[in-house]
Amino acid sequence: MTSVASMSAALHDPSMVTRCISIPHLSFATDLLFSVDAVKTNCSHGLTTQNQLLSLLKSRVALEKQYASDLARIAQQSQIDELEHGTMREALGTLRAQYVNTSVQHRVLAKNLEEDVLKPIEALYTYNYQKAQNLSKLVYNIKKQAKAQENLYKKDYGVFEKQFRDAAVTFAAAMDAGFSSTIIENQYHHQLMQLHTEEDAQGTRYDDPSLSSTDPRGKSAFNNNSQKLVNWLLASDQQRKDNMCANTAKALKTTELSRRRCQRSWQAVEQSRIDMCRTLQSVLTEYQQIAEHRISNLATNLRKHVVFESSALANEQYDWQMIAGKIENVDFEGDIREFILLHRSAAYDVSSMTVRDLCVNSLATSFLITSPTATPCPRPLRKKQLEIADLAVRKIPFDYEGGNHVSLIDVLVTRTPATSAIAEGNDHANEKVHPVEPGSNHFGQLQIDCRPSSSSLFHPAASDEDVTNLRVALAQDVAHAITRAYELRVTGVSTHGSFKEHACASAEQPENNSSTESSLSSSSSSDGSSISAQSNDIEDEEGTADAVSCR
């Protein structure tokens, strides 16, 4: 694991500025970085829906089993054909056999629904539920760590504020006593020079045990007592004035040391925010994977549900075909794209923000405020050393324009600016979904195509290029991009040119496709290895339907 110091050095390295990692499509990690609560709520709602669907399917399977058992029982108990003869005996025997055959069909339907529909959904729900719990704990720990670093800065800032006000009062008293600010400033700069000399010699003092064996507290107490004795014996107006001037310069020096400590703490706050956002991007990618797997798994298994029902219950064909039209229109990429465009912050774009915005921007820091009474993190102090004018006006030298102005494009994974303008438009946001209406040939629709839907969710006026640019990057692709970004920033390998060409090639490749269907199908097939429920193809389902029909 890379240390904070090495990551900070890589962040401020000029050679790392040009190596930025970006993806051309919408994703949770790039567009919902500041909407973590909305993503968590969406995941919770999805798991609730999945659980309710499981309850519905379990009840349906239990009902089919009970119906088949009762129908077989009454058929076996009935003796309607034993007391008859001739054609009546044959007719009643056929009726009794039909009851038994119907019970067998319902038992097969219950088994198919349980094995091929219920169990895959239940297995994915169990996995996603545990994963969501772990991600929720991880987000809590991330926010807790960032808040702890912020509290350290608040503590250092409180010490600086107290020392600054004390120095201001001491300086005002010295000015009232008739001292020149030039004399105080000269003594102050002289003490700063001595401080730099002591810092240079500090390394040698720590290396030599003989130099560090003296107790500094005892030596300091001895010097203070000696100075007090001299002041008591040689008390005079001139001595008091000299002491006042020296105390003022010493107060300035102490305040300057506190300012430097605050500056170091603020740099740690900046680095902690960067680390937090990087981890949040990985967490958001996991949430996107949960959403993708859930929607695609439900769509695939509900298509099989339609196949079984249509094959076993031909008299209810029309009702199930109405449901089939809606299921065929399920597009997990379209649902995720709509969710991203609905919850993304239109006023703030990650690609246009800087590291300083992560620490001072109200949107980026709002989710760290745990209660309405919590105080926000103070602004960073000015990098320039403390001046006499600051004490004269008694105004804390905040840095309103400074901070780390490195763009988030250089430290986080962002979306390419070429697709940002398209995503911010309202043309695609106002477009409606056109469901597929069932045709007149109902018997021809018994075989349901379980492949991803090829119908476009956009208005025909939208060009294929715009639709391709607005497609959602699969969570697996986003995870690879984040991993590659971390490797580039840690190792410092100069791969900007080759990666840029690769990104451009990957962005132009969907434009050469004949339609949006091929790009969506290729993205779905690239992610198929991570979704176990999508391994069942249409041939298996058609074979199952034929087997049920034969029975």
Contact 301, 534 (CB under 8 A): no
- Give the integer Cα–Cα distance in Å for 137 and 142: 9
Q: Please give the single-letter amino acid code of residue 479.
A: A
How high does pLDDT run on average in the chain? Answer: 71
Please state, in angstroms and rounded to a whole number, the distance separating the CA atoms of residues 184 and 253.
11
Q: Where are the domains of the chain?
A: 4-204+223-550
| Per-residue confidence band for 29, with pLDDT thresholds at 50, 70 and 90 | confident
pLDDT in tens, 188-217: 888 788 777 777 666 555 444 444 444 444
Residue from 421, 452, 449 nearest 523 by CA: 452
pLDDT at 262 over 90: yes
- Residue 187 — very low, low, confident or very high, per pLDDT cuts 50/70/90? confident
Q: What is the pLDDT of residue 361?
A: 72
Arithmetic mean of pLDDT, 383-403: 81
* pLDDT tens digits, 76-125: 888 777 777 667 777 777 777 777 888 888 888 899 999 999 999 999 99
Q: Which residue has the higher pLDDT, 69 or 414?
A: 69
Which of 61-81 are b and which e, b meaning 16 or more Cβ less than 10 Å from the residue's Cβ?
beebbebbeebbeebeeeeeb
Work out the angle at residue 227's Cα, subtended by the Cα atoms of residues 225 and 229, and round it to the nearest 5 degrees: 70
Distance from C-alpha of 29 to C-alpha of 287, rounded to nearest angstrom: 9
Model confidence pLDDT, tens digit, residues 346-371 = 667 777 788 887 787 776 667 666 66
Q: How far apart are CA 351 and CA 133, in angstroms?
A: 30
Q: CA 509, 511, 515, 519: dihedral to nearest 10 degrees? A: 40
Q: Where are the alpha helices (DSSP H) in 78-118?
A: 86-112
pLDDT 10s digits, 288-342: 999 999 999 999 998 988 888 777 766 555 555 665 666 677 677 877 888 888 8
Q: Measured at the alpha carbon of residue 153, what is the angle toward residues 5 and 255, in degrees to the nearest 5?
A: 105
- Per-residue pLDDT tens for 507-551? 444 444 333 333 333 333 334 333 333 333 333 434 443 433 333
DSSP for residue 115: I
Using CB atoms within 10 A of its CB, is residue 268 exposed (0-12), middle (13-18) or buried (19+)?
Answer: middle
List, in sequence order, every residue forming a beta bridge with 414; answer none if it has no partner: 22
